[in-house]
Amino acid sequence: MTRIVPFVLSVALLAVSCSGSEQPAAVPVSSRIGANGWPMFRFDPTRSGTTGDATGHPELAWRFDTGDVVESSPAVVDGVLYIGTFGRRLHALDAASGAELWTFSVGGLLRASPTVVDGVVYFGADDDLFYAVDAVTGEERWRFALGRGGEQSSAAVSDGIVWFGAFDGNVYALDAVSGTEVWRFPTGGGILSSPLVLDDIIVIGSIDGNVYALDAATGAEVWRYPTGGPVLSSPATADGVVVFGSDDGRVHAVAADSGTPRWSVETAAPVFATPAIADGVVYVGSRDGSFLAIELASGRLLWSTELVEILSSAAVTGERVYVGSSDGHLYVLDRADGTTLTRLPVGDLVWTSPAVIDGWLFFGAHDDQVHAYRLDGRGSGGSGTTGKPEPSFREERAW
């Protein structure tokens, strides 16, 4: 059943009929989950995908029915979860209860993940626009028109600048407050890869098969690294090394300052997912279903686990790895050897990247739902805010 909520027209700097904030009756934010923040795709501007300890048994706390496919990954800041959907809406939900706080409507699908910095949510849509909206009210701050092509990557925000790539082939830098263009850099193909920020450079991949390092302030090219296929994976960095996947079926590692190759590891299919890096180990899945742990310094394979096609980028905690699969499950793996500890049943593709923060696990899926689990075993086990019944099969555990 379609949920109908009253709405008010947003007070925006640049408002048009196809977009705006829709606000249900006021719902108090019941917790401060994410006070320290999972504010963007892959947790931070280095795209590490790594957070603190979370080792408890996952127990369902709530599920929210968005009404359409969810490929956007969640951001969680100050008790609020932000996520986009194919239903052309950005949703803001109370992270503890799943209650809807507001929605913002756009003119195209929302695949990219929102970024939340200094009280503003930044995101792009398939309507060839990039938006900034107020994180509390959902009111529009500004919008920026892009070239034709639709999809954009998830933004990185730092020092008052917003960086992202778009399917028009350009990397953009915008002023975070005004939305004014600072610079743009043309690549030879569309961009789904999301930029990482490292000191005074950003690094981003392109469907033209290259990974580019650009001066963060000017957009000047610092180096480029050619791969053997389109680069849809977003780069991650640690210890002076940048790691990314490519449709050439390899995981590549290069020197962050020069783009000099360090190593590559071959898989049997394109690598769409973004690597997570924790304690000198790279964790990444391939579309062949293999999930790998690779030593960052040497490229030595530490272990491999066979799942089903993986497009989800993993979240890593002290002892666990959380990753979605095309077989309709969210997997919890042991970091030490890749053993499957838990399979959380979803029933449809899980291509989003999970967020793990403050003892909670959040992710979306092609079942139209946003899923929230407590990792301390205190979830309700209930059906969440929409009344959708529980899956008929229980999670499998090996605790």
Examine the pLDDT at 15 and tell me if it is beyond 60.
no
Tell me whether residue 398 is in a domain.
no
Please classify residue 337 by burial: count the beta carbons closer than 10 Å to its beta carbon, then call 0-12 exposed, 13-18 middle and 19+ buried.
Answer: exposed
pLDDT of 39 reads 78
Output the pTM of the full model. Answer: 0.87
How is the beta sheet containing 140-145 ordered, strand by strand?
A: 115-117, 120-125, 129-134, 140-145
User: What does the pLDDT look like over 170-182, one tens digit per residue?
Assistant: 999 999 999 999 9
What mean pLDDT comes out for the span 68-84?
92
Cα three-residue angle 379-385-388, rounded to 5 degrees: 95
> How many percent of the chain have pLDDT more than 70?
81
What mean pLDDT comes out for the span 292-299?
98
What is the maximum span of the chain, computed from C-alpha positions, in angstroms? Answer: 56
CATH number for the domain harbouring residue 131? 2.130.10.10
Q: What is the DSSP string of 221-276?
A: EEEEEE-SS---SPPEEETTEEEEE-TTSEEEEEETTT--EEEEEE-SS---SPPE
**What is the C-alpha radius of gyration for the chain, rounded to an integer number of angstroms?**
20
Tell me whether residue 200 is in a domain.
yes
Q: Look at the alpha carbons of 96, 102, 106, 108 in this order and tell me if their dihedral is positive or negative.
A: positive
Tell me whether residue 13 is in a domain.
no
User: What does the pLDDT look like over 94-135, one tens digit per residue?
Assistant: 999 999 999 999 999 998 899 999 999 999 999 999 999 999
Examine the pLDDT at 229 and tell me if it is beyond 90.
yes
3-class DSSP assignment, residue 354: coil
Average pLDDT of every residue of the chain: 86
pLDDT of 318 reads 85
> Which tokens sit at 5?
């909520």
Lowest mean pLDDT among 35-49, 233-247, 261-275, 310-324: 35-49
User: What does the pLDDT look like over 341-359, one tens digit per residue?
Assistant: 999 999 999 998 999 888 8
pLDDT of 24 reads 52
Task: Supply the range of the domain harboring residue 147.
Answer: 32-51+58-390
User: What does the pLDDT look like over 238-250, one tens digit per residue?
Assistant: 999 999 999 999 9
pLDDT of 174 reads 97
Examine the pLDDT at 147 and tell me if it is beyond 60.
yes
Strand 89-94, strand 80-84: pairing: antiparallel
- pLDDT band with cut points at 50, 70 and 90 for residue 310: very high
pLDDT of 261 reads 98
Tell me whether residue 71 is in a domain.
yes
Examine the pLDDT at 33 and tell me if it is beyond 60.
yes
pLDDT of 398 reads 44
Tell me whether residue 20 is in a domain.
no
Whole-angstrom distance, CA of residue 79 vs CA of residue 342:
26
Tell me whether residue 289 is in a domain.
yes
Tell me whether residue 21 is in a domain.
no
Tell me whether residue 111 is in a domain.
yes
User: What does the pLDDT look like over 166-219, one tens digit per residue?
Assistant: 999 999 999 999 999 999 999 999 999 999 999 999 999 999 999 999 999 999
pLDDT of 46 reads 64
Of 333, 332, 239, give the one whose Cα is nearest residue 277: 239
Q: Per the structure, how many domains does the chain have?
A: 1
Are 159 and 182 in contact, with CB atoms under 8 Å apart?
Answer: no
